[in-house]
A and B are shown apart, each in its own frame.
Chain A
Amino acid sequence: MRKFLFFIPFVLFIALAAFLFSGLFSDPRQHGSALVSKTLPAFELPDLMAPTTLYNAEKLKGKVYLLNVWGLWCPTCNAELGFLTELRKQGIDIVGLYYVQPQDSAFGESFDLTKLQQDVVKKLQEQGDPYRLNILDEKRSLIFDLGVTGAPETFLIDAKGQIRAHHVGDINPQNWPALGAQYQALLEEAAEHKPTAEAATTAGAAYAN
């Protein structure tokens, strides 16, 4: 008994050391998302290139896709464009959500859509265009409802419009395998829910490839 009591401080010290040591390798930016397993919040936002086209959560439903929050002002987003374009070539569906930074009118800044469109086209020509379409969120309303803290951030959305993953930071060859596996699993899940057996087999083949 006496020997056992003697070891208690040692055990406590080891536990504390292990806890603090594991903290060295944790990413303070990753603190969980309140949005995972919720449906995409309601919104009504224009297309970046054709502002008369409006999108809402209902319109985007029916497909598995990545919703990528990005902006030209964000260097990490620009660095990520090349890899995302590669993913698009592999058949990954990516929808862009353009993050407009607040404009300070005191410094003569104002939002200029035509200028932005020109800059975006130029950038995507240079770096590659990973996006099926781009949603413009000028007031950051959907971005706020998604709990986005900055750019880039990426959401994995299933065919039912439910958010299944929230990735903070860039997508790169190191972290893509985990997210990619989740993406493929959702494709499979979506195929299972489709009534025709034919659709399921084609999706299965795509997964095998």
Chain B
Amino acid sequence: MLTKFQSKLQKLQWLKTLLLSLVLLTPFTTSAAEELMQFKDAQQQALYRELTAELRCPKCQNQNIADSNAVVAVDMREKTYQLVQQGQNKEQVIDFMKQRYGDFVHYQPPVQWSTIWLWLAPLLLVAGLFFVMLQKQRKAQSDAGEQGAGKIMAADQELEQQLQALINQAMLNQTNQTSQTNQTKHQSAREPD
């Protein structure tokens, strides 16, 4: 079974080579695409990269504009490039896009009444879980306490009972002994007869 699998794997050697070459080639292709854009300095280039990674393509379901080739994403990249070259900062570019495509266009949602749950919900969840855990722990402790007290009481009672039984036994023995001695006395008294 295993050898069969291994031979199959060996047949797929070409796939391995293909994947490896793809992986190796990717960095070269991206750098080739970016070389077409001229930036004043590395800082502007970094800002452009950051922006195209953070801005979301409004036509696509979940892609940033760097990743998408939809016409609107291409236009947005072009506009981002122009604005960055004009010396606009990150916030200005994002505001420019938001004015046209809404909050949807930025992957970081703004803090608003409608979006506050994105931050509150996890906090509430953690707080709730903490509360439940605390409650459970408290209950377990008090339960253990109650049980302990109950055990002591039960043990007390048992000891009391044992003691009582011992006393009873002792008392019974005593009465038996006295009655026996009385009997022997009686017999000895009667012996001379």
Contacts and interface: CB of A to CB of B under 8 A. Distances in A.
A147 B99 CA distance: 8
Interface in B59-109: 59, 61, 70-72, 74-75, 79, 98-104
Interface string A137-153: 00010001111111000
B59 A149 contact: yes
Contacts of B74: 102
Interface stretch (A27-35, A51-59, A115-123): A27-35
Contact of A34 (B59, B70, B102): B102
Contacts of A147: 58, 100-102
A34 B99 contact: yes
A140 B78 CA distance: 12
Q: What is the interface residue range for chain A against chain B?
A: 10 to 19
Interface of A is mostly: loop
B71 A101 contact: yes
Contacts of B101: 34, 147, 149
A32 B100 contact: no
A136 B87 CA distance: 30
Nearest to B59: A149
A150 B102 CA distance: 15
A102 B101 CA distance: 20
B72 A148 contact: yes
B72 A34 contact: no
A151 B106 CA distance: 22
Given A28-B61, A34-B99, A144-B79, A150 B104 contact: no
Interface string A4-42: 000000000000000000000000100111110000000
A150 B99 contact: no
Interface of B: 58-59, 61, 70-72, 74-75, 79, 98-104
Interface of A: 28, 31-35, 101-102, 140, 144-150
